[in-house]
Amino acid sequence: MTPEMARRRIETLRAEIAEHDYRYYVLDAPTWTDAEYDRHWQELQELEREFPQWDRPDSPTRRVGGAPRSDLVSVRHDQPMLSLDKVVDQAGLRHFDRRLHERLGLPADFALTYVGEPKIDGLALSLLYEDQVLVRAATRGDGVMGEEVTANVRTIRSIPLRLRPGSRPHRLEVRGEAYLPRGAFAALNRELEAEGIRGFVNARNAAAGSLRQLDPRITASRPLAFSAYGVGQLTEAGLPDGQDALLAWLREAGFPVSPEIRRLEGMEACWRYFEQLNERRDALPFEADGVVFKLNDRMGQERAGSVARAPRWAVALKFESEETETTVEQIEFQVGRTGILTPVAQVTPVFVGGARVAHASLHNVSEMHRKDVRVGDRVILRRAGEVIPEIVRTVMAESGSRALPVPEPTHCPACGSPVERDLGGILIRCSGGLHCPAQKKEAIRHFASREALNIQGLGEKRIDQLVRADWVRNPADLFALEVDRLAGLERMGKRSAEKLIAAIQASRNTTLARFLYALGIREVGATTAELLAHALGSLEAVQEAGLDELCAISGIGPIIGHHIHAFFDDPGNRDVIGRLREAGITWSSPAPQLPASGSRFAGASLVLTGRLTTMTREEAISAIRSLGGVVSSQVSAKTRYLVVGENPGSKLDDARRLGTEIVTETEFRDWIGFPPETSGPHLQ
Which residues are the active-site residues? 119
Write the DSSP string, 592-642: PPP--TTSTTTT-EEEEESB-SSS-HHHHHHHHHHTT-EEESS--TTEEEE
Instruction: Kindly state the helix (H) or strand (E) to which residue 34 belongs, with its residue range.
Output: helix 34-50
SS3 at position 552 = coil
Cα separation of 133 and 159, whole Å? 11
Cα separation of 36 and 19, whole Å? 14
How far apart are the two ends of the chain, measured CA to CA in Å?
45
Q: DSSP label at 388?
A: P
Q: How far is CA 25 from the centre of its chain?
A: 27
Please name the residues in contact with 683: beta carbons below 8 A apart, sequence gap of 6 or more. 170, 237
Q: Helix, strand, coil shares of the chain as percentages rounded to 5? A: 40, 20, 40
Cα separation of 127 and 62, whole Å? 16
* 326, 392 Cβ separation under 8 angstroms: no
* 552, 630 Cβ separation under 8 angstroms: yes
Give ∠ CA 194-201-260 in degrees, rounded to 5: 110
Q: DSSP label at 589?
A: S
Cα separation of 161 and 156, whole Å? 9
Q: DSSP label at 404?
A: P
The pair phi, psi for residue 579, each rounded to 5°, is -65, -35
Instruction: Kindly state the helix (H) or strand (E) to which residue 376 belongs, with its residue range.
Output: none
Parallel, antiparallel or unpaired: strands 113-120 and 262-265: antiparallel
- Three-class SS of 240-280: CCEHHHHHHHHHHHCCCCCCCCEEEEHHHHHHHHHHHHHHC
